[in-house]
A = this chain, B = another copy of it.
Amino acid sequence: MREVGIIGVGMTRFKEHWDSSLRDLFVEAALKALDDAKVPMIDSIYVGSMSSGLFVEQEHIGPMFAEYLGVKNVPAIRVESACASGALAFRLGYIEVASGLSDIVLVSGVEKMTDCEDPTSALAAAADVECEAFFGATFPALYALIAKAHMDRYGTTREQLAAVSVKNHKNGLKNPDAQFQREISLDAVLNSVMIADPLTILQCSPISDGAAAIILGPLDMVRKMTDKVVKITGSGVATDTIALHSRKDVTSLDAVKLSAERAYKMANRKPKDINVCEVHDCFSIAELVTIEELGFVEKGKSGQFVVEGNTEIDGKIPINTSGGLKSKGHPVGATGIAQIIEIHKQLTGNAGERQVKDAKIGMAQNMGGTGASSVVHIMEVV
């Protein structure tokens, strides 16, 4: 397999985009990435989108996007694995370049959620519709079950959960692409509207519109085109039961652990080697369980770990410097790509006020459903 690197990146701001359609969002992000990469042409396109069908009644977005980007006839394929769609689009582009079949591949993610009357029902299509959603289980409810179990087993507190949102909003304030660029207090998080006990609304990622795009190429080419070369050294994917109730232990996310193990093995790295990491904090509890599964903190100790400041920008392992899904926003299909863009910014020294000092090795973890799919990538400055 050929070595693969990142040539350029681009994204829309994540927010409620009332003046842009699905295709507009894609084109904006893709043009920014192409402008950043300065490549004359692309060989193929991958686009991650969870449910353009349920959100805006449009399937078949690959060729539509190629056309509106002005590269009609280029192969363009949509990839879906719920909220992990973006990272999977990245992985498939990586494999295509690594295989030697293509040189320059645009990988992207997009979602237009605000045009949908009932986005919570559309999102529920990422759960087991027959066994979960049909009986009223929404994602806030399912993640609340995980949170309750984690509190019960490990003594995780409401304050520890809320601290995740406080930290992520603090970071998002420094990110011009974030949906919410403001700090929130622990009190505000704890006393905001209860969605599914113990998760208050300020512990739930928002409904967002947005797109993100990355241009990949063979490392030899990337070396000639960029100053700071970022190589993809690890790519791991794993799946788990679609329904939460089928798991042996709901305080664990096995697919996250396994996808990380696969990525660590491929990159020949360990948790202690990672300098900066974006994780899938669709709900506060998701960030806690995930940093345990990624090996950054012992099982059950994540709440205290966050409260102690270890996941801050200047902490032991900075988590979600972008603001995470909570503050940056979560247009589901775009999230996995935007996470990797944040890591790329950190590794190339372009993260502005939220820059992690001397970041050389980064990780991005993106997941679908209640962790029925998880994708982990490791990237390194080489």
- A residues within 8 Å of B by Cβ? 1, 21, 44, 50-51, 53-54, 56-60, 62-64, 66-67, 72-82, 88, 92, 95-96, 98-101, 122, 125-130, 133, 237-242, 246, 254-255, 258, 368-369, 372-373
Which of these, B58, B64, B127, B246, contacts A372 with CB under 8 Å?
Answer: B64
Contact residues in B for A88 (Cβ distance below 8 Å): 77
Known: A92-B77, A246-B67. A54 touches B59 (CB 8 A): yes
Which of these, B73, B126, B237, contacts A60 with CB under 8 Å?
Answer: B126
A82 CB, nearest partner CB in chain B, Å: 4
Beyond known contacts A59-B126, A62-B80, A79-B79: 7 more, CB 8 A cutoff: A58-B125, A62-B373, A63-B241, A67-B239, A74-B239, A77-B80, A80-B80
What's the Cα separation between A240 and B11 when bound, in Å? 25
Known: A56-B129, A78-B80. A63 touches B101 (CB 8 A): no
- Nearest residue, chain B, Cβ from A66: B239
B75, A239: Cβ atoms under 8 Å? Answer: yes
A sample of 17 cross-chain residue pairs with beta-carbon separation below 8 angstroms, ordered by A number, consists of A51-B59, A53-B125, A58-B130, A59-B80, A60-B80, A62-B80, A62-B373, A63-B240, A63-B241, A63-B368, A63-B372, A64-B128, A66-B239, A67-B240, A73-B240, A77-B81, A96-B99
Which of these, B58, B99, B237, B239, contacts A95 with CB under 8 Å?
Answer: B99
Contact residues in B for A62 (Cβ distance below 8 Å): 80-81, 239, 373
What's the Cα separation between A180 and B99 when bound, in Å? 41
A82, B59: Cβ atoms under 8 Å? Answer: yes
Contact residues in B for A128 (Cβ distance below 8 Å): 64
| Shortest beta-carbon contacts, A-B, top 7 | A99-B99, A63-B239, A75-B237, A60-B82, A63-B372, A64-B242, A59-B125
What's the Cα separation between A258 and B122 when bound, in Å? 36
Contact residues in B for A51 (Cβ distance below 8 Å): 53, 59
What's the Cα separation between A62 and B50 when bound, in Å? 12
What's the Cα separation between A87 and B96 when bound, in Å? 16
What's the Cα separation between A238 and B75 when bound, in Å? 5
A69 CB, nearest partner CB in chain B, Å: 11
What's the Cα separation between A346 and B259 when bound, in Å? 39
B129, A72: Cβ atoms under 8 Å? Answer: no
- Nearest residue, chain B, Cβ from A371: B63
- Nearest residue, chain B, Cβ from A266: B101
What's the Cα separation between A255 and B72 when bound, in Å? 9
What's the Cα separation between A96 and B128 when bound, in Å? 28
- Nearest residue, chain B, Cβ from A54: B53
Which of these, B73, B79, B99, contacts A254 with CB under 8 Å?
Answer: B73
